[in-house]
Homo-oligomer: A and B are copies of this chain.
C-alpha cells in the first residue's frame, strides 16, 4: 500500500502560478464561504499588480482543479463539492422502478485509535499520532451496498469524537467542513478485486467476491485528510471512464 500524491517544488515559477498559489493560500486563511465570491479579477489584478490576463490564467488553474467555479455576471466562488453520489458511483443499484437510487450513509461507530504505521504514512501524520476511526454503511432501503472503514487524523478531526452517532449527517464531506473546517477538494482511488471478503453487514458473514476501493482524499492545502476503504459486491460493479 504505497500510493501518494507527488510534491513538486520549483524554484522560479511563472507569475501566474505564484499568484495561483497565493490565492489558494488566501482561501485557506479566509475560511471558505461558498456563497460569497472571491475578489473580482479586477481587484485581484490591482492587489497583485498584474494584468487581468495573468489573473485569469491563475484562476483558470484553480477552476481546472475543481477548487473554484466561475459564474458570469455574479463572480467566482469556492466550489461546493458534490460527492452526493460519487461515493457509490462504481456500483449500479436501482429501485424496482429502475431509477437510480442515492444510497443513504449511516455511521455505525466512531472511536479514537492508536496510530497505524501504514495509515499514518498515507495521511502524512507522525508515526504514533492518534487517529479517528469510523465504520459506516451505505444503504439502499434495507440493503447494504457498501461497507466503509475510514481513518482520519485526530489532529484535524477530534471534534467528531464528541458527537453521538445520530449526530452524523448522511453525507460526510459537507459534515467535515461544518464540524472540523476540513474541505475535501479531490481524491485518488484505487480499485482491486477480492475473491473472498467477509463482513457481518455487507456479506452477512459469508465469503463473497467484492470490489475494494481505497481512497485518499486531499484537502485545500494539498495534504491528505482522509483514508477510506470501501467494499461493495462485485456483481454490482459498474464503472465508466474516459481516457485520452
Residues of chain A touching chain B, judged by Cβ–Cβ distance below 8 Å, are 3, 53, 65-66, 86, 185-193, 195, 209, 211, 234-235, 237-244
> Which residues on B sit within 8 Å (CB–CB) of A209?
193, 195, 209, 234
Across the interface, name the chain B residue whose C-beta is closest to A66.
B244
Do B243 and A190 touch across chains, with their CB atoms under 8 A apart? no
Q: How far is the CA of A116 from the CA of B238 in the complex (A)?
A: 24
A237 to B66, CA, bound (A): 29
Residues of B within 8 A of A3 (CB): 240
User: What is the minimal beta-carbon distance from A66 to any residue of chain B, in angstroms?
Assistant: 4
A190 touches B244 (CB 8 A): no
A65 to B, closest residue via Cβ: B244
* Candidate in A53, A65, A191, A195 with the most chain B CB atoms within 10 angstroms: A191
Q: Is the interface of A mostly helix, strand, loop or mixed?
A: strand
A186: contacting residue among B187, B188, B191, B242, CB under 8 A: B242
In the bound complex, do residue A189 and residue B243 qualify as a contact, i.e. CB atoms below 8 Å apart? yes
Docked Cα-Cα span, A22 to B221, in Å, equals 40
Residues of B within 8 A of A244 (CB): 65-66, 185-187
Contact B186 A234 (CB under 8 A): no
3 tightest Cβ-Cβ pairs between the two chains A and B: A66-B244, A186-B244, A193-B237
Chain B's closest residue to A90 (CB) is B191
B234 lies within 8 A of A195 (CB): yes
